[in-house]
Amino acid sequence: MKESVPEELLKRLKKARDIVRKEKGFIRIVSHYDADGICAAGVLCHALLRKDKKFQTKLTSNLKDDYIDYLKEEEFPVTIFCDMGSGQFSNLKDLQGQVIILDHHKPIEDSEDPLQINTHFFGLDGTSEICASSLAFMFSLVLDDTNWDLSALALAGCIGDKQHINGLYGYNAYMVDEAVERGIVDFTDTLNLNGSTVKKALVEGLDPFICGMSGREAKVAEFLNKLNLDPDAKVQELDDDQRRTLASAVIVKLLAQGVRPERAEAFITKRFWLPQWNLHADDLSNYVNACGRMKRMGLGLALCLGDERALSEAIALRKAYKDELRAGLLFLESEGAHEMDNIQFLYTENPSLAGANAGLGMMYILNQEKPTFSLSVTQRDTKVSSRGTNYLISKGLDLASACRTAAEKVGGKGGGHPIASGATIPLGKEEAFLALLDDIVGKQIKGS
């Protein structure tokens, strides 16, 4: 592993390892509630269980001040923050015991107290090369190099963080290549379709979302009949010619609706099989993500820990989550988003759907020249999720910086990745926040 991990990063991981090895009391894990965060927590739980360590795991949507105050009241000799923490590290100094941060989001500044292990400090891009799950997996190998089987769970987290799109890079690629060599992961080149039949996959699928067709059985059946493809054929039974025919037709449709070429071409993809789990990695990722988004985070963690009873519940939750999300995308297809000079925004009633609405809307439905912001107004505050594209990043977009700066100016907090970020702002500050964002993003993209 040494050749794949920067030396200074390895030194910090070993510091964290030594802290964990010496600890005889309870270790607290605090992680994010999305697929990457829950899978990362799952990796850490497995690794600690194998060392006979006692631990408690908490999953949360963010580290707001009141939640940090709650954590301060608890006595734990060691707390590991995963998939979060670098944006709040100054507030974590007052926690009892030692604090370790495993994060891949864009940091504010470095620190060794708390012990920050953030990929960006060591030349690894946390947006495309390594996620929270693959960083947790890296730590698990430093803890014990027999933990290679946990790479399967880390891969599910990587897919949940969308770091597999258009190919794996950096540490993610190393991890999966090695996992394939060890028989932990297998893969096939296939189409990005999920469903018992081709028709079901296209009707119920959200990624890709094909305008005028997704969610509409009659339109999908008509589309497939024109291609001389049996709507009731199983996806895996399509021969090479049929796959090529379907891929070409879908990609043409996506390009016609304004989808970026690199995103449209991702319809032809690799699909990873996890023999140990008897699941595809994307299915495991989707089940865990649905558990988090539907506020059943504990169920998602139970699934990561191998609880077979959790799987059937997670499958049902995934269906409910997809149904809600599809309804939102169909509405967005019909109504569009509100556009400003440099950004576009929409309101999402359910905060758990905000990121997916913004992300899928950005990729498949909305204006490709402007990043998308989804706002969810709650009784206490307004939560914001934002998404961009690699194309906009190449033009200078940095959503982490934009969200952090605009949120702080209206009394809130923000941060994340250049391509995907979030914020929490006070009620009533939405218009001021959006105006600030519009100005900041305009300067980023136009370079003025």
Q: Does the pLDDT of residue 56 top 90, yes or no?
A: yes
pLDDT attached to residue 1: 62
SS3 of residue 382 by DSSP: strand
pLDDT attached to residue 196: 85
Please provide residue 344's backbone torsions phi and psi, each rounded to the nearest 5 degrees: -130, 150
Supply the Cα-derived Rg of the chain in whole angstroms: 22
Question: How far is C-alpha 242 from the geometric centre of its chain's CA atoms?
Answer: 32
Measured CA to CA in angstroms, residue 244 lies from 119, 204, 219, 220 at distances of 39, 21, 20, 17
pLDDT attached to residue 108: 86
Measured CA to CA in angstroms, residue 440 lies from 151, 301, 367, 385, 407 at distances of 39, 38, 18, 16, 12
The Cα–Cα gap between 327 and 332 comes to 9
pLDDT band at 411; cut points 50, 70, 90: very high
Measured CA to CA in angstroms, residue 130 lies from 13, 134, 161 at distances of 15, 6, 10
Residue position matching structure tokens 């802290």: 19
- Condensed to tens digits (0 to 9), the pLDDT of residues 123-143 reads 999 999 999 999 999 999 999
Q: Does the pLDDT of residue 8 top 60, yes or no?
A: yes
- Condensed to tens digits (0 to 9), the pLDDT of residues 325-374 reads 999 999 999 999 999 999 999 999 988 899 999 999 999 999 999 999 99
Contact predicate 349/383, CB 8 Å: no
Q: For residue 64, which of 91, 98, 37 has the smallest C-alpha distance?
A: 91
Domain-wise residue ranges, the chain: 2-181, 193-265, 336-446
CATH says 2-181 is which class? alpha beta
What CATH code is assigned to 193-265?
1.10.8
Contact predicate 264/257, CB 8 Å: no
Mean pLDDT of the chain: 94
Question: How far is C-alpha 52 from the geometric centre of its chain's CA atoms?
Answer: 30
H helices present in 257-377, as ranges: 261-265, 281-293, 297-304, 308-335, 351-364
Mean local confidence (pLDDT), 319-324: 93
Provide CB contacts within 8 A for 131, sequence distance 6+. Answer: 36, 40, 104, 154, 157, 158, 161, 163, 172
Structure tokens at 121: 């400090």
E strand or H helix at 56: strand 54-60
pLDDT attached to residue 3: 64
114 cis-preceded (ω within 30 degrees of 0): yes
pTM, full prediction: 0.91
Count Cα atoms within 13 angstroms, Cβ side, for 92: 25
Structure tokens at 65: 């001040």
- Condensed to tens digits (0 to 9), the pLDDT of residues 412-440 reads 999 989 999 999 999 999 999 999 999 99
SS3 of residue 370 by DSSP: coil
- Condensed to tens digits (0 to 9), the pLDDT of residues 194-222 reads 888 999 999 998 999 999 999 999 999 99
Which architecture characterizes domain 336-446 according to CATH?
Roll (3.10)
